[in-house]
Each structure stands twice: as C-alpha cells, then as structure tokens.
Structure 1
Amino acid sequence: MRILHIAPHLGGGVGKAHATVTEAERQGGTSIRRSYLLLEAPRDKTYAERIRANGCELHVTPDPVTIARLAAEADIVQIEWWNHPRLYGLLASETLPALRLVIWTHISGLAAPLIPRRLVEAADHVLFTSPCSLDAPNLQAAIRARPGAIGVANSGFGFDGVVRGERSPGAPLRCGYIGTLDFVKLHPRLFDFLDAVESPISVGLWGQYDPQGPVAVGAAAMRRPGRVRFEGYADDPARVLSDLDLFIYLLAPGHYGTGENALVEAMSAGCVPVVWGNAAEAAIVSDGETGRVVRSGEEFIATIAELSAAPARLARLSAAARIEATRRHSPAATAQVLADAYRTAMSSAKQRRPFREILGLDARAWFESSLADWMSEGAVRLVASLAAAKGSLAHFRACFPSDPSLAGWRPASVQAGGCSPVRSSGSLMTRFGA
C-alpha cells in the first residue's frame, strides 16, 4: 500500500511522531510504503533523515507537476493538518488529482485555529491526535454523521529506559520546561505564578526564545528572577528530564496543541507533570495519579508547596507517570490505528475534492476560516502575534507577501455568532506562496 504524506515540514512533534512510527513499522514489518512531500525545506533535518533511514522517500518542495504525479501514484494521500499557510495554498490551488484522502490533525481544534468542518467532511478518514478533539464545537455534526470514519491516533511518544538522577533529601525541587518559549503557547501569567511560589525551587526553561521578546521581559520582571534560567535548545531532552523533579507545563488557555509530545516525554522519564487544566493536557495527565492538573495560580502555588513537603508522594507520582506513558503512548499502537484507517479508506474510490470551495480563494479567507470568534484568546494570539510562525497572521503574510487580500487587513469587528469569513476573490500565489 502506497501512502503519500503531505506536510508543511517534519519538524517538532510531527516529525518525531512520523520518525518513531516508521521505526516501529520497520522493526515489526509492514506492507506500507510511505513517501513524504514537504512544502518547506527542513530547517532541522534530524527527523527527516530518520524517516529517510526507515526506507521512506522524501520529496522537498517539488513543482506542481511532480506533486500531481506523486498524488496520482499513491493509493492514499494523507494530509498532516495544522493551519499552516502553505497547506491552504497547495490544496486551494487544485493541483491534486482524484485521490483517497486521510487527514491526521495535529491541532486540537477546540479553539482557534479551528479544523475546517468541511475538510473533515470531505475526507475518507480523519484521525485526531487526542480524544479531546472529539469535543471540537464546529465538528460535532461531522463526527455524528460518520462515526466510523473518525478515530484517534496518538502522536506523542516517550523515551525508553531513562535512568533517573539521584535526588538529595531536602533539596529544592528541580523544575523545568521544554518546548515553545512564546506566549502563543505559554500561560500569560507563568512568571507571576513562579514568582509567587514560597517553596525554594529552581526552574530551567529549554527552547529557542527571543532575548528581547515578551518571555524574556516577563522573566526579568520577576521579584525573584534568579529562580528562572534560560537553558537554550535541549540537545538531549531525555538527559534533561532525568534530572528534573517537576515538569512545569502551564500552557495558555485555548492553545493550539494536542498530542503534547514534550509532556509525554517528561512522563516517560519519571518527571512529574504539573499542567494547566486545558483539555489536551487533562486528557494525558490524571490529576493526583500521574501528575497534577491545576486551574488557578493559587492551586499551582499550593501544589508546589505540597510536593515540596512530600517526597514520598512525589516518588509515587513519578513511577505512575512512567507506567502510564508507556501504556497509553505506544508507537506500535499508533501504527496499527493508521493501518486500520487506510483499510477503511481503501474501500472508497479515488475522487477529486473541492478544496478551493471548502477553504476559500485567497489567504485572507484561509486565515479567517481558522478563527471563528476572533476575540477568543486563541484567535487574538493568532492575529496579534508578530512572529511569523504557527499559523499566525504574520505567518500568512510571510508566506503570501503579494496576496492583496492581506494588505493592511485585520479583523475589524465581531459579528453575532463570531467572525464571518469573507471569501473574496484573488489570485493564488505561484508555487503555493513560495
């Protein structure tokens, strides 16, 4: 069976998920041949090279004729979906021929950015990366109409055999975070909460960040800024996590994440997670059993004090987190879910999909379709972000600098029931915004 994956790139959690699944398939034996079509050249080639080493073909930024040929030769085309501008550009260009369509979504869709309902309806099979997406408000009718065509395939996998570092009795809790250091994802009051903790703690933050940006400014404004350290990129996250007691995973309400790869990795290393009570995190962490789920700053502060004073409880949570990460987040299980989805999709004939009608004609329509009510927290972050990343308005403008529909535009008002997408006409960008 020949599967063509179309993805903007293979970085971060998506790249790791596919590298891990293809390694599991290679070890277990498979009749599936996977090819990957990337709409951007990889910045970090680590996962792309691992995927290639597993016997998969990679096609980086091919021309439209090659894209059409690859899609026609495949038994199934799988779209790795998140609201990346180049995905919209490719689909709306109507380059793709008749195909069988599987979609694996890598955003939750619970808040902006939304998963387009009509895209879900047009697919032969749809897989979410978390069961929390089954509650996405705009997808309820589509899910009820075709329950057999909807499933969940975990995309977050942990580490095997991490050896925990020794913890000195009475030592301050070693806390940390690995991931996106941007308030697009982090809770806006993270540093207020860390500052208010009375227990002695040290907090390491691993990830790329702007030394002059809002995150750095927020940390510097703390009364006790010395308790937070910016550690840079984590070259060996398993080693970093093995030395931490707590994984401080306080993400913004309404964030776009779903599989939460970093969270699963932390649990697999026995690092006890303390997470904000968003749906995606609460679907992974069982409060009081495999970590703690907090819903206020006061609850976070009390939780840190409690765990500081109870090393035996901390050890029990650590052991339970490791067991749960292994039990629920297996790459072999995800590979089986994908294979089952392919068998379902193969019962359908190839057909053309009206992507332009589904998504709109220009970049403004594509961006607006992801917002719903743009005054929601998630939508405001996408509109206001100055970083050309993660499906923000700035990202769309960077990918489609000549699209007149985006020139000087911002959502102007909130209408009853949310922001109504304006599907204005406009030329599609050559080579999908390149």
Structure 2
Amino acid sequence: MIKVLHIIDWLCLGGAARAMIATSKYSARLGQFEHRLISLKSPDPMALELAESSGMKFLPTSGHASILKAIENVDIVQIHYWNTPKLFEFLQSELPEMRLLIWFHVAGEYPPQVITKELVDYADFAIPCNPYSYELPVFQKLPNEVRVKKIGMVYDAADFERVVDVKPQPHDTFNVGYIGSVNFSKMHQNYVSISAAVNIPKVQFIVCGGGAEDYLKKQAQELGAVEKFDFRGFVEDIKSVIETLDIYGYPLCEDTYAAAELNLQEVMYAGIPPVVFPHGGIKRLVINNYTGLVAQSESEYTQALEYLYHHPEEKARLGRNAKEYSQQLFGAENAAKQLNPIYQKLMQLPKQKREWGIPIGSTLLDQPLSLLDVLVPPEKFIGARAFIQSLGHQAKPFTVSLTSDHIEHLLTAEQQISDSSILLGLGEGGVNHYRDHYLNDGYLRMWLGLVLRNQNRNHQAISEFQNAINLGCNHWRVFWYLAQSAEQVQNIGLAENAVNQVLGFVPNFTDAQEMLQRLQALLVSDVTHLELKEINLIIFPDWKQPEESVCSELMRVIKALINHPDKRYIKLLIDHQNIADEEADLILSSVVMNLLMEEELDIEQEPDISLIGELTQPQWLNLLSIVQGKISLDLENLAIIERFNGDLIPEFSLETLLDWRGLELKNGTWELWKLREQNYIVFPDWKQPEETLYLELADVFQAITTLPNKSEIILYINSKNISDEDANLILSSMIMNLLMETELDVTEELEIVLTGQLTTLQEQALRSCLTARIVLEHEDKNAIACLGGETLPIYEGKK
C-alpha cells in the first residue's frame, strides 16, 4: 500500500480541491493507494465531508511540527499548488526528506499565479494540469532528458458522478450558463455588456457563483438589461442548472489563471457546447468549431451565441462532440489512470532532503546569484521578499522597488506596480493577499497603497501608506504617495504634512512645491474647525431684531431639529455676522437651556449647533458648497444672504423640514430627500398620449387620496426620460383637469415628487427607501430597470 499525503492551502469546494478529492477516490479504486490529506487552513466543513466520504483520510494538525511528522510517515507528498502566501511559506520552510510531487492547478503564465523555475526544480516530479501550461517555457526549456524524467501532464479532473445522467429539462427561455468565480480576476470585465448585447429572444444568462454579483447586477441595471440575467450565487447542485442550459458562455479575462476548469469539463460532459475566449488553459480545452466556439473578440463572442441560437443543428453537433471528447480525455478516472503510474515511478526514488532555490543534485555554488541574494532586505520585509520569489522572473518592478536606490528607477517601477492587473493587485496570490498574511511588512503595505490609489480608493490607500511609513518603509517617495492620495480626498492637513516631509528631503522637487502652493490656497478656505456632519443646515437670523423675536425663531428651529428623525446626523450652522460672538453665544445657550427644560429633554438630545463666526470669502464659498440647505426664517439677514449668494442654496421651511430625510449615497456623500412613512413610485411612459397618461395617473391620485393614512405617503413619479420642464407642465395640466372634473385638489391632498434626472448613486439610494411600486398599464421599462424597480414590492391597494 503506497501512502500519499496531499497538502493543500485550503480544503474548500474550489476546483483544485475537487480535483484532488476526485482523483484520490479513483486512484484508490484502481490500485493499492491510501490518500491522506492536510489543509494548511481550517477546512470548509462541506469540503471535508466530501473528502472523507470519497475515501481520503483527513489529518488534523496542531502546528508545523505535526505536519513534518505526517510527512515522515508517508511514501509520497503531493502538493496542490496555486500561489498563496501560506503555501509558499510552507514550501520555503525546512522540510524532512520526502518524495515530492507538485500538481500545478493554475495556467501559470501571468502573475501572481506563475509556475516558476524554482518550483519545478524543487519537485521530484511536476505536473501541469493542462496542455497550455505544459507548453510554457518553464517546462519546455528543460533539457529533454529532464523533462521526460520529471514532467507529466494530467488534467485537473472533474468527478463526472456529479453530472451523470443529466437529462435536459423543458424551459421556455434560451439559457446561457456561467458557473464559477464571479470576480474580475477571472471573469471578463465586460461580461455583462457583451452578454446584454446578445440579440436572442427570451435569452437568460444564468450566473452561478459568489463574488461580485451585486456589482454585476448594477451594471445590468445601468444597461437596462436586468431581465436578461439570473444571478443565483453559489450552487452546489450544478446538475439541476446544467439540465436547463442551452449554451455555456464562459468568457474569462485575458490574464486569467484558469487552467483545466472543472465546470467547463462538466458542462461539456453533459453535452452543452461552450463559447469561450482563447485565454489561459481554456484555449486548449475547447477545440474551435468541433467541441465549442472560441471567440477572438467581444463582438465575435456575442455573434457566436447568436449563431448557435439560430443554428440549433450546429449547437447539437458541437454538444455531441464536446460530450464524446470530454469522456475520452477528462474526468477523475482518466486522471487517476495517469497518476497511479507516476506514484509508482516516484517510489523508485529515495526520499531526499531539499533546499529552496537549489535543484536536487546541485549545490549552492552552482546557482546564479539573484539581486535578492546580493541586496538582502531586512528581516522585517520577509513578506515582500517571499512575494517577489513567488513571481519568479515576472517580479522585476517589485524587486526594483525593494532593492534599488535610484529614484527614477524606483518611481518607474512603482508606477508599474500601480498599474497592476486586478489579479496581481487584489486577487488570490496577489499583493493584497500577501499583505494580509504579512501585516507588518511595510513594502507590501506600500505596494497595496499604490494599487488602491490607482483605483481611486484613496482613503484605503492613505491607511496603507501611513502603515508602510510606521513599519519602516519610510523613504520620502512614500510620503509623496501619501500626499497625493490625501490631496485627492481633500484631507488638506495630512497632505500638507506629508508634502512638507517630502520637501524636507528633496527641497527642489517641483511637483511637491506646486502641490504645497495648491494646498496653501485651499487652507485659506478650510472650514474643518466647524466640525461638519453628514447633513449640514444653515440659518441667517437677523440679530438686529428684538431679542425676543430672535429667540423665538431660534427656538422653533432647534425644536424642529430635536424632533427630526435624522437629528444625530444633522449640524445646525448659525450665522452671526452682525453681533458679537459672546452675545450670540449667550442668546443661543439661553434658548437651548430653556427648550431642554420646557420639553423635559435629556442633555444628550441637544442638537449639534455651531455659531459660524468670522469666515473669509473663500471659506464662505467652500461652506456654502457643502451645506445641504438653508432653513428659511421669518426674520433673516438678507444682506448677508445676498452677499454670499445664500439664495442659491436649497431652502427648507420649518413646516416641511420633518419630511426631508438624509440619504447616504454609496460614495459617502449625503443628500436630503422628501420621504415619509410610506413612499410609493410609478414609472409612467411619458411617450404615451397625454390623455393616456392622465387616465392612468388620475386613477393613482384618486386611489391614494382615499387612504386614511394619506398624510404619511409620498408618491414619487419617475421622470428619468423627460425634461423637468415638460414633466411639470404635463403634471400641472393633469392636476388642473382632475380638479375641474372631480373637485379633487391633488396639491392639497397628496404629496407628489418628480424624480428628475437621477445619477446611478441617487437611484440606488432612493431605491432603498421605496415602499412599493404602483403598476401602470403603460410603463417605462428602461427606467424601471435602471432604478431596480422590478424587485420592489407591488402596491396591492387598500389594506
């Protein structure tokens, strides 16, 4: 009995783990092999159950020593490799004598999922999991005798028992499936747009997999194509999905690390023809025009899907070929038949001690020196060093960043790091992944900051740059990166401090000098001393009026704010240009104290109020661009309002203030929207004749005005695809006609709000506050899709 110990970074339900479990099951069935398993991270319970039910023996470990003991007790160690910091760190640790097989579960061409020479040298036997990877230079440049001796190709293998006896189920849509990771480190970044462009009646794109599905839904809404997509999240029972598919649309990004994609093997085994791009290992899994269609461009991908819809006989032919091809080449049983002889071949070798970077049979003196050997980075940057080594020959910009003292070379290299692909920057095995594992490595922090800054995620970039500096990565250029991000988010004080640090080291740095001038100009308009909040409202009392009148108005305003449902977010700013600070403060304190006593309120319920004090003209302009509105008073300082164009600010009366609620947009800004307990929306088709619009909306108006809780209702009328002027004109005419015909004064009975032209962020915010959608006979379908109205509850009438 040959004992094989499988070591994997994480036992989960991903492709590498499934391939390991499936091939081990068939290996044991076909020969005298016992398969044991160690997961460097805590295993997923469902995956662990699958592994054990398939015959693998899971070995819980209590640390590195227990793993070493497990290695000593087996005949062969099989590493399931994709680049992760934990697995790479394990390979570089001191390990006992062993026979080592590495099965590479990545395409291996693009960083960070690179198959490096050092990895191949480290193994007794190395197995790429698809023909595309086998043809990479890292294997093909080996001497022929070495390649024959220690390199093989075994497909990552699906367990076809998951999809055995797939029987097509009847469906009235044309279904294009996608099963797998839903993120742009794998999926093509234009997946939604190229799918939405497909012109097929009743097409449905069924997307199964977790990740960025919310972002994809948003893209579909923006394209008005929500009805074409069905996002299902993670699905374990893929058989039930495959039985309803017509085509498998699997467009991946150009630098994908996809290798032998088990989901692709499974759908082909079920006779579903795939349409793919020629990226990664996919290009050698699908034979164009025989087992599927391989598109060379986005437009060709769209055309391929349409072609198969219009030519069902071709779809059937490709499906039959795909099924036969996958039965012959793919599957865990076929893979096990290849692996078992490799295990037996390895048993002819002695167990050997090995050292990272030194091929078996060689010595340290035989190896060429690398830059990291000559310029050994400090121990505190061990994570950055490991990351560089994991990228092999593709790590040049990171190596320069870590070792060079030439500023032009550094800035050029770090610009390249900023421009990293999504996979290299934020994907598995990338900068962010290594940063999470080596939290105290300043260089990994700086590199992640560069990636985030390039994506305009400057708040997060600032945190990374600050941590980098505190962790010893404190060259002046890091302060420069920090200053740039701080300026982008208008953190003027932080940007000024950082740029001054830069100029302390390089006083003639022109870009830094220019930034400092910009910052100093902005500091003149700084209003941070007012400690603004999410919602900032301003009033302009006329302090020259009798004190009793001023106090009365202040009390009314403050009382309204105390009772406002969003009071914890509100800051009230009070102008007092024509009165001394001390006198204004005294009056205000008296008003607040009397109000708290009269209303029997806790001091914690006191509203957040600031007297504005003296501001410069730039500060006034800055403040008035920030505040969400002005509360109108009976007695106002009209001269100050006119002087600073305060009349251009949105104005709110005290009587309606409680109806205006704060809404936070996804970009962090806040706006005031008219909202009540129940907020309904209609989506009229403004292209209909005015008479049709009148009849449909009049029914809605009359229905709502008869409700006993009509005072708690606001009716939003979507006006996305019509100008505000035209919408108001049509609406005014309708209301007048309704008054003349029924004597119903809608303006008195019902609060109506036209949405106007909303941004995507505003649509998302409003959508979260809507109670229900009132359905009309004629509706604007595009407006419904953009706002996500199809997912709103439907108004059912009187309760």
State whether structure 2 residue 388 is matched by structure 1 residue 368.
yes
Q: Report how far residue 356 of structure 1 moved.
A: 6.8
Q: Report how far residue 172 of structure 1 moved.
A: 4.6
State whether structure 2 residue 140 is matched by structure 1 residue 140.
yes
State whether structure 2 residue 421 is matched by structure 1 residue 380.
yes
Q: Tell me if structure 2 keeps the 8 A contact 1:181–1:207.
A: yes
The equivalent residue for 2:354 is: 353
Counterpart residue type for residue 312 of structure 1:
E
Structure 1 pair 162–58 and aligned structure 2 pair: CA distance change class (3 A): same
State whether structure 2 residue 295 is matched by structure 1 residue 294.
yes
What is the Cα-based RMSD across aligned positions, in Å? Answer: 2.7
Structure 2: runs of 5+ lacking an equivalent: 360-369, 373-378, 398-415, 452-470, 472-799
Q: Tell me if structure 2 keeps the 8 A contact 1:154–1:259.
A: yes
CA distance in 2, matches of 1:304, 1:226: 18
Q: How does 1:180-259 map to 2 (within 5 A)?
A: 180-200=181-201, 201-210=203-212, 212-213=214-215, 215-259=216-260
The equivalent residue for 1:305 is: 306
Moved more, 313-322 or 358-367: 358-367
Q: Tell me if structure 1 keeps the 8 A contact 2:208–2:231.
A: yes
Q: Report how far residue 377 of structure 1 moved.
A: 12
Percent of residue pairs bearing the same amino acid type: 26
State whether structure 2 residue 166 is matched by structure 1 residue 162.
yes
Q: How does 1:16-165 map to 2 (within 5 A)?
A: 16-28=18-30, 30-43=31-44, 45-94=45-94, 96-112=95-111, 113-142=113-142, 144=144, 146-148=146-148, 149-157=150-158, 158=160, 159-165=163-169
Q: Tell me if structure 2 keeps the 8 A contact 1:307–1:313.
A: yes
CA distance in 2, matches of 1:211, 1:14: 23
Structure 1 pair 207–54 and aligned structure 2 pair: CA distance change class (3 A): closer
The equivalent residue for 1:431 is: none
Q: Tell me if structure 2 keeps the 8 A contact 1:242–1:271.
A: no
The equivalent residue for 1:419 is: none
Q: Tell me if structure 2 keeps the 8 A contact 1:93–1:356.
A: no
Q: Report how far residue 145 of structure 1 moved.
A: 5.5
Structure 1: runs of 5+ lacking an equivalent: 414-425, 427-434
Counterpart residue type for residue 51 of structure 1:
A
Counterpart residue type for residue 164 of structure 2:
D
Q: Report how far residue 410 of structure 1 moved.
A: 5.0
CA distance in 2, matches of 1:310, 1:106: 36
The equivalent residue for 1:263 is: 264
The equivalent residue for 1:423 is: none
Q: Report how far residue 376 of structure 1 moved.
A: 10
Structure 1 pair 198–87 and aligned structure 2 pair: CA distance change class (3 A): same
Cα shift readout 1:191-220 (whole Å, capped 9, x = no counterpart)? 22112222232111111124554x344333
Counterpart residue type for residue 147 of structure 2:
P
Give the SS at the match of 2:168.
coil
Q: Tell me if structure 2 keeps the 8 A contact 1:383–1:410.
A: no
Q: Tell me if structure 1 keeps the 8 A contact 2:217–2:226.
A: no
Counterpart residue type for residue 407 of structure 1:
R
Moved more, 350-359 or 156-165: 350-359
Q: Tell me if structure 1 keeps the 8 A contact 2:435–2:448.
A: no
Give the SS at the match of 2:446.
coil
Larger RCO (CA within 8 A; separation ≥ 6): 1
Q: Tell me if structure 2 keeps the 8 A contact 1:114–1:369.
A: no
The equivalent residue for 1:394 is: 432
CA distance in 1, matches of 2:316, 2:181: 27
Structure 1 pair 225–400 and aligned structure 2 pair: CA distance change class (3 A): same
Counterpart residue type for residue 367 of structure 1:
F
Give the SS at the match of 1:318.
helix
Q: Tell me if structure 2 keeps the 8 A contact 1:9–1:42.
A: yes
Give the SS at the match of 1:49.
helix
Give the SS at the match of 1:184.
coil
CA distance in 1, matches of 2:260, 2:74: 27
Q: Report how far residue 264 of structure 1 moved.
A: 0.6
TM-score of the pair, normalised by structure 2: 0.48
Aligned length: 404
Q: Report how far residue 283 of structure 1 moved.
A: 1.2
Structure 1 pair 283–243 and aligned structure 2 pair: CA distance change class (3 A): same
Structure 1 pair 223–138 and aligned structure 2 pair: CA distance change class (3 A): farther
CA distance in 1, matches of 2:143, 2:258: 20
Q: Tell me if structure 1 keeps the 8 A contact 2:28–2:35.
A: no
Identify the structure with the greater helix proportion: 2
- Rg comparison, structure with higher value: 2
CA distance in 2, matches of 1:142, 1:353: 19
